[in-house]
Structure 1
Amino acid sequence: MSIKVEVFSSPGCGKCGQAKEVLRKLAEEIGGGRIDWREVNVLEELDYAVNLGVLSTPAIAINGALTFTGLPSVRKLRSELDRRLAVEAGVKGA
């Protein structure tokens, strides 16, 4: 059971680097391979970013849906990840 998290970033974006670092640390804390995350460079994957509704970076999508349109607090991101993992666990256990 894992959730897919994508961090939309652009070259030279300081907050994007911060978002990636926060997500990397949270994925390590949660562990167990439960967070499958990747960086999406909006310049390289512009059509995909636009289709999700990304208008600025950093942005974070979870399981293919735009969830944060800016850099959330660590607490808010952790809370959302925990909530999604609990939902996944409930669905898999049902």
Structure 2
Amino acid sequence: MSTAGTTLRSFTGALAMGLLMLALVLIGVQFWATSHGQQGPGVAAVLSQVVAGLVAVALQTYADRNRDRNGGLAVVGVLVVVLGSLWFWWW
């Protein structure tokens, strides 16, 4: 295992967990907003962030357990899911 591979897996792990934490914050914001009569971010935005976070964490788990070509593809998948979600919902 190379140092670069370990560093990349650590980085994508942080991104995956960050995306999941963002989803949990959005759940809290949605509940807070609706309890105060506000619209909030919306159910579609919240659900898509939750799904993206769970997919990213699942891909990262696979990447951490498989240090082969498929694990490398899972790392790329984490990057695509995280960056795609941020691009679509937050830009």
TM-score (norm 2): 0.31
- In proportion to residue count, which structure has more strand? 1
Larger relative contact order (CA 8 Å, sep ≥ 6): 1
